[in-house]
Structures are given as structure tokens and as C-alpha cells.
Amino acid sequence: MNQFKKVAFYTLGCKLNFSETSTISRLFKDEGIAKVNFEEQADVYIINTCSVTENADKKCRQLVKKAKRINNDSFVIIVGCFAQLKPTEISKMEGVDMVLGANEKFNVLQHLDRLDEKNKQTIVSFDSIKKTKEFVPSYSIGDRTRSFLKIQDGCDYFCSFCTIPLARGKSRNASIEETLEEARKIAAKDVKEIVLTGVNIGDFGQGGKENFFSLVKGLETIHGIDRFRISSIEPNLLSNDIIEFCLNDSKKFVPHFHIPLQSGNDELLKSMRRKYDTTLYRERIEYIKRLRPDACIGVDVIVGFPGESDAHFNETVEFLKELDISYLHVFTYSERANTTAKKMDQVVPIPKRKERSKVLHLLSDRKKRNFYESNKGTKRKVLFEDHDHDGYLHGFTENYIKIKTPYRHSLTNTFCEVNLDYLDRDGIYKSDIESTIEI
């Protein structure tokens, strides 16, 4: 291990992956191995992969080539979901030196001594995902403003389009007290906001005595954290109790929910093996908006799922138009190996998938603009980040409205009161320094 002085990381995919990459990077730091940017010379490059879409797989291949161009003598290690699903396929990629599955990625330091400059045979270490039962707490540190806290891993749902249960195993988590201790560690690092992340965070506790609502109430007691944000939660697991607590009782949980829909047609939801219908989904949205009309609601939607007719898609569009939501995350369906959906008939042609994606992206733009406009004239508490964006500092309100103000380093990682009075051409609220009050 002493031969390695520098390590670089690249993370593909979700917030959960970012939290795990950050945790792995701290293991290297503890061993005296310096972390550098991926564009810099490093002895080891670690790529934490995603496999939700085909593009994530292609991106992994591109990054391997990039790492070798930067330093041809380096070692490239692939971890993450793609590594668990396709270890043999990855091992045949030119430039890959090691592939570590779900059971091994947090033990990467123990594998470094197996890397040999003279005999660069690809090392593959993985096990059946059924044997992956350990929960490894993780959180991201680096952006002082916010941290992604992993509270749960794996999924028991087996939606027909999804490979995540095959890549991450069954749903599992630490205890509430252990999770609160991780939050306390973050609070000690001058982080203002924690984003709760996982594969299916609403399944925390898996129906046992401890559950997600109990965890939320426990996190409310953590000193030193001003905001908690729920990254994504299934509509069937987002109870009225959770909604009421976050919107009425909590002083720390923000009025922002991201709730996957996937389709506005009940026939397709059943084919996808989702655990709700459009009636339940509508009830969740309407209840949130009844309690907090200014709450931000994001929605995941898949276009081009097998069997999605023009009528099905139009029904989804109309359903989304009717809902008082704030933005969409649109996913173009791509076939994934070992999923039920890949075997389905009535495949939607690629051009039609792309066409439908464009329609929903335009709808998302309108929804976001309308939501931003509905907040015009209000005064909001903004947490500014620590990056210079072409002379501007960006931040977000509690209800996830993006703000920009002329860059001033003293504002980074601080809360400010901002008047929402001017939307620029990019659809972002712009605030001059004079109207920004530090609090």
C-alpha cells in the first residue's frame, strides 16, 4: 500500500453513491493517501458506478479511458452497482485493473496490495448479492453547505424495470440511534443541511418497531443541523403522519418532497409492479399542498416503458398537468439485463421514447417556472453554497428555489434572507447584495 501516494475518485449516479464515495475516500485519507481531482495525476483511480441506465455503463467505459490517458501507469478500480451486476464484463475492459462487488467496495484498502505493476491481471472480487446483508453507514463531506447521509440501502420491491435489488440486495439499515450518531458526526463539521438518502428510505426499519417516521422525529433533535431534506420517498410509504410532521411540526425538515410517479396510467403502474395507483398518488400531492401551498414537489417519470401506447402517455401528460407539482425528473426507459421488463412485448421504438421525453421536459420547464412565479414577492431564507458560478453565488430556499447573487466569499455556507422579486432569463431568482440580509 505504501507505493500509492495519490487517489482520485469519480462518482456516477445517485446521491447514495456520492455518500459512499466520500466515505471510501476518508478510508484512504486515514491511511495517508492524498485525494486529488480525477483530472490530476493519481496512482489509483476509483470509479463508483451506477447501472440505472445504459448511459451510466457507457460513461464508465469513457472514464476508464480518461484515467489511463492521464496516467497510463495508474491502477483503475471499478466499484458500485455496475461492478456488482457485470463484474466479468467489466474485467474485460481495457484499462481496468480491479473490480469490487457490493460486499467488497468498503474493503478496497485491503485489496490494494494485490495490485502488481509487473503483472497487471484484472482482479475480480464479488459475491452473490444474496450474501450482502451488512449495512455500512456513509455520508458525504466536502461541500460544507450540505451532506448526503445514507440512512438505508437495498430494496425489496423488485419493480419490473429496475436492477437495484440485484445490485444492492435486500432493504437494510442501521438502528435509529446509530443513524443519529452519524448525523451528530456531520453536525460537528459545520454542515448546515443534511439530505437523507438511500435506495428506498421510506422502508427504513422494514416494518419493524423502528420506522422512517420515528427516525425523522429523532433527527429533529440533532443540534447543529439547521435543515433536513428528504431526497426521494415512495408515495405508498409517505404517510400523512410524516407529511404533517415535516410541514406543521418540524422546525428543521423543509417543505420539499421528491415523490416517484413513473407513470400516470394505472395499467402501466401495475405492469411496472409499483405499489400504488394514481388515486393514492393524487391524494398525497393534494394533502401536501393543502397543508403547505408553497411546498416544492419533484416527480420521477419513465417514458417509453414496454406497452406504453400513445393513449397511455397522453394520460400521463394530462395527469401531470392537473397535479400541483414543481418539476419533473424524466427518465427514458432503457432495457436492463435480468429484469422482467426486458422480456416484455410491445417495445416502444427509441425515436418515440425520445420524442416523449422532450414533451415531458418541456412540461417540467413550465411547471418549474409556474412554481417559481407563485413564490414571487415573498421573502425566503437561503443557504448559499461555496462555488463561484461565473461571478455568482448559488443557494436554495427551504422549498428548493434556486437563488443567485453576486459572488461574495463571506456569504458561503451562511443563511440569508432574500426577496424573490426578479427571475432572470435562465429562470433563476437573482438577488442583489444590497437586498440580501445575513441572518
Within 10 A of 36 (CB to CB), how many other CB atoms are there? 16
How far apart are alpha carbons 171 and 375 in whole angstroms? 38
Angle between helices 212-219 and 176-187 (to 10 degrees): 30
Please report the pLDDT score of residue 142 as a whole number: 78
Give the pairing type, strands 138-139 and 146-150: antiparallel
H-type helices in 310-349, by residue range?
Answer: 310-322
**248 φ, ψ to 5°?**
-110, -40
* CA neighbours closer than 13 Å in the CB half-sphere of residue 356: 26
Per-residue pLDDT, 425: 83
**Is residue 69 helix, strand or coil?**
helix
**The predicted structure's pLDDT at residue 324:** 98
pLDDT at 427: 85
Q: Tell me, what's the pLDDT at 196?
A: 98
Query: What pLDDT is stored for residue 1 in this prediction?
Result: 56
C-beta atoms surrounding 424 within 10 Å: 10
d(CA 166, CA 237) in angstroms, rounded, equals 22
Each of the 439 residues of the chain gets a pLDDT tens digit; together they read 568 999 999 999 889 999 999 999 999 999 999 999 999 999 999 999 987 666 767 888 899 999 999 999 999 999 999 999 999 999 999 999 999 999 899 999 999 988 876 567 899 998 899 988 899 999 998 766 899 999 999 999 999 999 999 999 999 999 999 999 999 999 999 899 999 999 999 999 998 999 999 999 999 999 999 999 999 999 999 999 999 999 999 999 999 999 999 999 999 999 999 999 999 999 999 999 999 999 999 999 999 999 999 999 999 999 999 999 999 999 999 998 899 999 999 999 999 999 999 999 999 999 999 999 999 999 999 999 988 888 999 999 999 999 999 999 899 999 999 999 889 888 888 887 555 555 5
Q: What is the DSSP string of 23-44?
A: HHHHHHHHTTPEEE-TTS--SE
